[in-house]
Each structure stands twice: as C-alpha cells, then as structure tokens.
C-alpha cells in the first residue's frame, strides 16, 4: 500500500482523483484491511493546513482527538475525552470519528453546536450539513460553528459487549435576533436524535417543548439525563463538566 501525504487541498484532490482511500487515523480501518486486504493507495490529510485548524469555532478533520482542549466548547471537549483509550485518542481523528465510525461519538456534540462541515471532492471543496456528512461519508476537511453561551455533555457507562452507551449533549446559543436557543442531541444505541427550542423560558417549559420534538421518542433513562442538563444550562449553574464517564471500548 502506498500512502499519499498531500500538503495542500489541490494535492489532496489529485490523490482522490487517483483513487486514494482516506484513512483518518486508521484506528477503524486497519483491522478490516488486515482481514480483507489493503488498498493500493491511501491518503492522510495530516499535512494539509485546512484539515488541521484549531480554534474557538472550528476544528480540522485531521485533528487527533487528544488535541481537542479548552479552546473548543465544553461539549466537544468532553465528548472527545470519552472516546476509546488514551492511545486511541492520540491517533483517531475528528473526521474518522464522524465519517468512518458507526458510533459517531462526536455527532451529538456537533449537532448541538449547529455545526457545518467543509468537505473535499475531486472537483473542489464545498460546505455540507451533518446529515449529508453522515449519509454520504465524504472526505471531511473541517467543522465550524458559532460558539455557544454554554454547553454540557454526559455519557453513561456502557456494558461490555452491549449497545453503545447513552450520550446526551446540549448547548445554549444566542439567537440572531435576540433571545436564546437551546439544542439537545442524544445517542440512543446507534441512533442519534436531536431537537431544539427557545432558551428564554423556564426549564419545565423548555423540557415540555423538547418532548414535542424527535426527542420525545426517547426512553425515561434519557430524560433522566436531559432534565438536569437543560435545567443547569438555563439556570446558569454549570452543567458543563457533568458526567465525564467511562470511554467507549
């Protein structure tokens, strides 16, 4: 297998045109390749500047998970910190997790940040929403969002050999025309559901409104986590650090 290491978007496009397979951090594909055979040409974006951005409102697709720190919103930082082991987080990338993983541990956090993606294709780069990223699995260059007022994250402890542990992410945003918007996303098994409502009401009104969204289908155990997160964000009493629990195995 030949590994293509482009240093620009143009070179990355050329690698794609030649049939290179994107590998992210290779934590998810290596075992499959050992079993089924390696591709003739693979590509890593680790030398492409646009895929390595790090800031308060952006992160590159080639950024490894352990680099996500206090620059980024709490919900994204806490989500990254619970993925795999320390060794995995030093290798796995943002793009690999969102595009290459069935678990998509970062997806609830990205959804509540109202994230937009920049993706790479053979004929250029373009913007895409997360629904398209999950469905079509393009090459992810970067993510960007508008920094929230506050955010929160919790992952429950999963059982070995069982379904993925429940994840609840939430964020409170300033609205464009004034007011505030509350966004909540939940991973229940392999499904990710989300909903939003006004963030200027009391917690009970906000929870009632969220039950009228897709989140209303969730089991009681999910609402046992959603309720204190929503209450903490709307009352400003710091739900951000709650529930940093056992990582996925």
Residue 245 resides in a domain: no
Tell which of 121, 144, 167 closes a domain.
144
The pLDDT value given to residue 25:
61
Residue 193 resides in a domain: yes
Asked if 128 and 82 sit in the same domain, the reply is yes
Q: Which domain holds residue 154?
A: 150-235
Q: How much of the chain exceeds pLDDT 90, in percent?
A: 69
The pLDDT value given to residue 188:
95
Tell which of 109, 144, 179 closes a domain.
144
21-22/150-155 β-pairing: unpaired
Asked if 156 and 172 sit in the same domain, the reply is yes
Asked if 139 and 159 sit in the same domain, the reply is no
Residue 8 resides in a domain: no
For residues 85-91, give the mean pLDDT.
89
Residue 1 resides in a domain: no
Residue 60 resides in a domain: yes
Tell which of 144, 171, 195 closes a domain.
144
Asked if 77 and 113 sit in the same domain, the reply is yes
If one counts the domains in the chain, the total is: 2
pTM as predicted:
0.90
Range of weakest confidence among 14-23, 26-35, 66-75, 107-116: 26-35
Asked if 81 and 56 sit in the same domain, the reply is yes
Structure tokens at 63: 């950024």
């Amino acid at each position: 297998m030949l590994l293509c290491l482009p240093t620009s978007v143009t070179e990355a496009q050329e690698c794609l045109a030649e049939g290179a397979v994107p590998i992210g951090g290779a934590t998810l594909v290596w075992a499959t390749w050992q079993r089924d055979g390696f591709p003739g040409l693979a590509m890593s974006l680790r030398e492409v500047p646009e895929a390595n951005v790090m800031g308060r409102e952006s992160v590159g697709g080639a950024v490894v998970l352990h680099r996500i720190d206090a620059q980024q919103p709490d919900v994204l930082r806490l989500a990254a910190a619970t993925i795999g082991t320390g060794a995995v987080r030093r290798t796995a990338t943002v793009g690999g997790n969102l595009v290459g993983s069935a678990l998509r541990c970062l997806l609830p956090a990205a959804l509540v940040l109202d994230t937009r993606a920049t993706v790479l294709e053979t004929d250029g780069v373009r913007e895409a929403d997360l629904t398209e990223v999950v469905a079509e699995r393009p090459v992810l260059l970067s993510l960007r969002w508008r920094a929230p007022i506050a955010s929160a994250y919790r992952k429950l402890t999963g059982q070995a050999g069982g379904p993925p542990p429940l994840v609840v992410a939430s964020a409170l945003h300033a609205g464009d025309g004034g007011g505030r918007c509350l966004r909540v996303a939940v991973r229940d098994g392999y499904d990710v559901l989300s909903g939003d409502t006004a963030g200027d009401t009391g917690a009970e009104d906000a929870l009632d409104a969220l039950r009228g969204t897709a989140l209303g289908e969730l089991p009681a155990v999910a609402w046992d986590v959603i309720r204190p997160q929503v209450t903490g964000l709307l009352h400003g009493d710091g739900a951000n650090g709650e529930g940093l629990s056992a990582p996925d195995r």
